[in-house]
C-alpha cells in the first residue's frame, strides 16, 4: 500500500506537468485546427531560461527562495512567451491560408531549428540544477523501512497546476479575450466580420500556451534537476498524447489526459519494466482512439455541408 501510494503521488506530479504542456497544444488546436509541434521545444527553452535564471541569481547573491522563484518564474514566462509569439509569426501566420499540411511541416521544421539552436548555445550535454526546494511530509511507513512521502515541491507543483487550470478556465469562459478565442474557434471569418482581431487573438493564444510551457519547464527542472536540448521532443510527444487522450480542444481534457499519462507511467514503472512504460502509454492511447476517437472529454466534430 505504501509503495502504491508513493507511485500515485509521483504519477500525479508528472501528470500535472504533462497537463500544463498539453493545454498549450489544445488551445492552439482549438483555434486554428493545427498541432504546434514546436510546443515541446518551447517547454525545453523555458526550462533552460529557468536554469540560467537560477544560476544568475545565485551569482548575484539573491538567496531568499520565494523572491528567487518569483523572479525566475516571471522572467521565464515572459521570455518563453516571446518565443511562442515568434513561432506563430514565422511558422504559422504566413501559411494560414495554405493547404493544411504546410503549417504542419513548418512547425516540425521550427522544432528542429529550436533543438539545434539550443544545442549550439548550451551544448549537447545535460545541464544539472541542484535541489531548490527540499523536505516534505512522511505519509506512511512499512515495517521494512520503506516510507511514502510527498515533498514540498510536489505539493507546490500540484497546487500550482490546479490554480493555473482554474485561472485559464475562467479566462476562456468569462473574459472578453476568451469570447474572442471561442469565436475564432467556431468561425474565424465571421469573427473578423464582427470586429475580432483574428491575428492578434491567435498570437495571444500562442503566447499563453508558451507561458504555461514555461511554468511546466520550471517545475520539471526543479523536480528532476536536469535538462537537455532533446528533452522537449520527448516530453512534448507525451504531452501531445495527453491532449489527444483527454480530447484535443478541451482544457479539462488536456489536464485529465496529462494526469492519466503520468499515472500510467508511474504505475507501470513501479510494477513492471520501466523500459516499456512508453509502450503502455501509447497502447492506452491507441485503445482510446479506437473506441472513442474524440478522446475522453472531446466532442465529435460535425462538419456542415
Confidence bin at 300 (pLDDT 50/70/90): low
Tell whether the model's pLDDT for residue 294 goes beyond 90: no
What does the pLDDT look like over 115-150, one tens digit per residue? 999 999 988 899 999 888 888 888 888 887 788 889
Nearest residue to 113 via CA among 197, 8, 37, 52 = 37
Higher-confidence position of 261 and 276: 261
Structure confidence by residue, pLDDT tens digits, 26-46:
888 887 777 888 999 999 999
Query: Residue 294: how many CB atoms within 10 A of its CB?
Result: 17
Least confident of 6-10, 171-175, 262-266: 171-175
**Average pLDDT rounded to a whole number, residues 58-80:** 91
- Are the beta carbons of 107 and 37 closer than 8 angstroms? yes
For the domain with range 2-291, which CATH number is right: 3.30.390, 1.10.3470, 2.60.40, 1.25.40?
1.10.3470
For CA atoms 14, 15, 16, 22, give the dihedral sign. positive
Among candidate residues 210, 217, 208, 212, the one with its CA nearest the CA of residue 44: 217
Q: How confident is the model at residue 302 (pLDDT cuts 50, 70, 90)?
A: low
The count of other CB atoms within 10 Å of the CB of residue 159 is: 11
Amino acid at each position: 500500500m505504501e509503495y502504491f501510494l508513493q507511485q500515485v503521488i509521483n504519477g500525479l506530479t508528472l501528470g500535472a506537468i504533462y497537463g500544463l504542456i498539453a493545454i498549450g497544444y489544445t488551445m492552439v488546436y482549438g483555434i486554428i485546427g493545427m498541432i504546434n509541434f514546436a510546443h515541446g521545444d518551447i517547454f525545453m527553452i523555458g526550462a533552460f531560461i529557468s536554469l540560467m535564471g537560477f544560476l544568475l541569481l545565485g551569482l548575484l547573491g539573491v538567496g531568499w527562495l520565494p523572491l528567487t522563484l518569483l523572479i525566475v518564474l516571471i522572467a521565464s514566462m515572459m521570455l518563453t512567451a516571446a518565443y511562442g509569439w515568434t513561432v506563430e509569426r514565422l511558422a504559422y501566420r504566413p501559411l494560414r491560408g495554405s493547404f493544411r499540411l504546410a503549417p504542419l511541416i513548418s512547425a516540425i521544421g521550427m522544432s528542429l531549428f529550436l533543438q539545434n539552436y539550443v544545442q549550439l548555445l548550451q551544448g549537447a550535454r545535460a545541464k544539472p540544477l541542484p535541489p531548490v526546494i527540499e523536505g516534505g511530509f512522511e505519509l506512511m511507513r512499512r515495517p521494512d523501512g520503506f516510507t511514502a512521502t510527498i515533498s514540498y515541491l510536489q505539493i507546490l507543483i500540484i497546487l500550482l497546476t490546479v490554480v493555473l487550470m482554474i485561472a485559464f478556465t475562467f479566462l476562456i469562459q468569462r473574459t472578453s479575450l476568451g469570447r474572442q478565442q471561442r469565436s475564432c474557434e467556431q468561425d474565424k471569418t465571421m469573427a473578423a466580420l464582427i470586429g475580432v482581431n483574428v491575428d492578434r487573438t491567435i498570437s495571444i493564444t500562442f503566447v499563453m500556451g508558451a507561458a504555461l510551457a514555461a511554468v511546466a519547464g520550471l517545475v520539471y527542472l526543479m523536480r528532476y534537476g536536469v535538462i537537455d536540448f532533446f528533452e522537449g521532443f520527448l516530453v512534448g510527444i507525451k504531452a501531445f498524447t495527453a491532449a489527444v487522450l483527454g480530447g484535443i480542444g478541451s482544457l479539462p481534457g488536456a489536464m485529465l489526459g496529462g494526469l492519466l499519462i503520468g499515472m500510467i507511467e508511474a504505475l507501470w514503472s513501479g510494477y513492471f519494466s520501466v523500459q516499456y512504460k512508453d509502450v503502455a502509454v501509447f497502447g492506452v492511447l491507441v485503445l482510446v482512439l479506437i473506441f472513442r476517437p474524440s478522446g475522453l472529454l472531446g466532442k465529435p466534430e460535425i462538419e456542415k455541408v
